[in-house]
Structure 1
Amino acid sequence: MQVWIEAALNGPWTRARQPRMPLAVDEIVADGIACARAGAAIIHVHAYDPATGRQIDDPDTYAAIIEGIRGVEDVIVYPTIPFVQSADAFRPGAVEMRFAAIESLGRRGLLEWAVVDPGSINLATFDEAARAEPGSVYLNPGEHVLRGLTLAAQHGFVPSYAVYEPGFLRLGAALARAVPGCPPPLYRFMFSDRFTFGFPPAAYALDAYLELLERTTAGSPWMVAGLGVDVRPLVPHAVARGGHVRVGLEDAPFGTEIGNPALVEEMVQLVEAAGGRPATAAEIRRACPAPGPVRA
């Protein structure tokens, strides 16, 4: 059983929540190379301005990261999209601006995968809720989802769906079918111990997602992941059911004291103990094909 291992190197947290996450381009590239050598075939990144410690969505920065890692190791490297949480999401030009970096990278032929999240959620921790604090809102209006899927069809990259709630799966499958030429998405089931969205990392929850996946888009590739979560208890269940796994400081409990390469090494051990074998990037490309950029 080939198991895809993805390493999510940093996420949106800044070092206030994940002190060991890489920020500068050279740090991210070095971390990505180390994770690839540890057994990850997929690397997911957020770009940062190291001077401010804040996330940026600059295509040139992403290009430097992607080319820096892929120039050394043959892995799939893909970026995020900007986090939107206000009425700005609905203003004229917002959808084009949000996907500007993705479109630029697609035109350069640098994307194999990209984030397209098919739904919106309230994003609050249990601690925030206990203090009667509202948390934030992660907005992905339908127009934004369709923009991402249209770019996937145009530039031939796989949409990586973060499925925070079951409705994300249903809407994502329906919209992907409606966009001509869109490559089949990857469905990444998002679990959490710390946040209030979706399900906790439990076998019954994975079974629920898999039943819905089978009834909605049978045979689609899927992965266990999350935010503020320890997915290790799910690994044997995921491997036994033909799924894949994500690990890294974007997903891990806040304040995790070991770095991304060590997290990948541990995940490789868990996968192998469950009877799986870490897949190579070439094997993933064959199993989850995308046509590449559409040329006029």
Structure 2
Amino acid sequence: MISEVFITCAITGSGSAPKSPHVPVTPEQIASSAIDATRAGAAVVHIHVRDLATRRGSRDPALYREVVRRIRQSDVRPVINLTTGMGGDLVLGGVGTPLPPDPRKTDMVGALERLVHVEELRPEICTLDCGTMNFATPDDLIMVNTAGVLRAMAARVRELGVRPELEVFDTGGLVLVHELIKEGLIQDAPLIQLCMGIPYGAPDDPTTLMAIVHRLPPHAIYSAFSIGRMQLPYVALAPLVGANVRVGLEDNLYLSRGRLATNAELVQRAVEILERIGIRVMSPDETRDKLGFKAHS
């Protein structure tokens, strides 16, 4: 058990058009929601952006630029964490004719192109999704992250001076994490996010979580979350297994049964849960000091 944690708020995600009016879409909405979440107690804001026409996930650097500018010009200073997950979406042509891939739904680009916004904006953290995985979507989406692509991205992120957060969706992802560390591509204490409960990834039961925790690299700094209705129970569970906390509308839309949430409300509820069980919530600057994040202007 740890006695203090930082909270990450995952603001909007990259999935299909939002099913809640509270999920932010425009850069102004995303930045405003991130600012409100920080005021509610989040130390880290995890940012995706969305296409203004389709409302689906996007990797347009101009959208990231506007979101980050608004956050940095606000009166709060959250640790900014930008995704690099976009550009690895593969949807095959069908079960009978898988090739060529569906050009309307596939978005595959090279390793360095997935980092264009990170290179320009220099956030303190960017994510690296460790491993390829099937997603339970109607179009049979495959999230593609080959070992070679991840190595190239990790090397470039290291050159940029940005701290990678390694997203682990199952035990196989930890194999790659250990290899990246052994090869010197991850040089600081590894920062790891355990992503639980995602269909075709690791289930969110405590036994599976503990199996993954026991395989973490020494000195890892890690968070753990679950999607859906288990998000808030995981707020209480995470510190018990040595993990920090993540909430947000990327992973869960509800504050309670039938009650749609905002990002700020989810963070506020997380703060309440943690304080009631004696866990102190760290501020953004305390998180920077403790973890040694590099801030870029």
Q: TM-score range by the shorter chain?
A: 0.7 to 0.9
SS at match of 2:214: helix
Gap runs ≥5 in structure 2: 91-100
- Greater shift in the superposed pair: 248-257 or 135-144: 248-257
The answer for the alignment partner of 1:275 in structure 2 is: 278
Gap runs ≥5 in structure 1: 129-133
Match of 1:76 among 75, 79, 84: 79
**1:190 is aligned with what amino acid?**
C
**How far did residue 257 of structure 1 move?**
1.1
Match of 1:97 among 82, 101, 113: 113
**How far did residue 102 of structure 1 move?**
2.2
Alpha-carbon distance in 2 for matches of 1:29, 1:113: 17
Alpha-carbon distance in 2 for matches of 1:30, 1:179: 37
Match of 1:162 among 162, 167, 171: 167
SS at match of 2:260: coil
1:187 aligned onto 2:192:
yes
The answer for the alignment partner of 1:220 in structure 2 is: 220
Match of 2:127 among 103, 115, 132: 115
1:135 aligned onto 2:151:
no
Q: Mapping of 1:1-296 within 5 angstroms? A: 1-72=3-74, 73-81=76-84, 82-86=86-90, 94-105=110-121, 110-124=122-136, 135-180=140-185, 182-192=187-197, 195-200=199-204, 202-213=205-216, 217-252=217-252, 257-290=260-293
Alpha-carbon distance in 2 for matches of 1:267, 1:90: 34
SS at match of 2:129: coil
**How far did residue 42 of structure 1 move?**
0.4
Contact 1:102 1:114 in 2 (8 A): yes
**How far did residue 80 of structure 1 move?**
1.4
CA deviations on 1:37-58 (whole Å, 9 max, x unpaired) are 0000100111123233132212
CA deviations on 1:82-130 (whole Å, 9 max, x unpaired) are 1423379998x7222222222233xxxx3100011111111116xx6xx
Alpha-carbon distance in 1 for matches of 2:192, 2:79: 16
SS at match of 2:65: helix
Alpha-carbon distance in 1 for matches of 2:40, 2:233: 20
CA deviations on 1:182-220 (whole Å, 9 max, x unpaired) are 43332111111x6232122x322221121111xxx1121
TM, length-normalised to structure 2: 0.83
Contact 2:11 2:250 in 1 (8 A): yes
SS at match of 1:114: strand
Contact 1:165 1:198 in 2 (8 A): yes
Give the structure with the larger helix fraction.
1
The answer for the alignment partner of 1:131 in structure 2 is: none
**2:126 is aligned with what amino acid?**
A
RMSD of equivalent CA atoms: 2.6
Aligned length: 276
**How far did residue 256 of structure 1 move?**
6.6
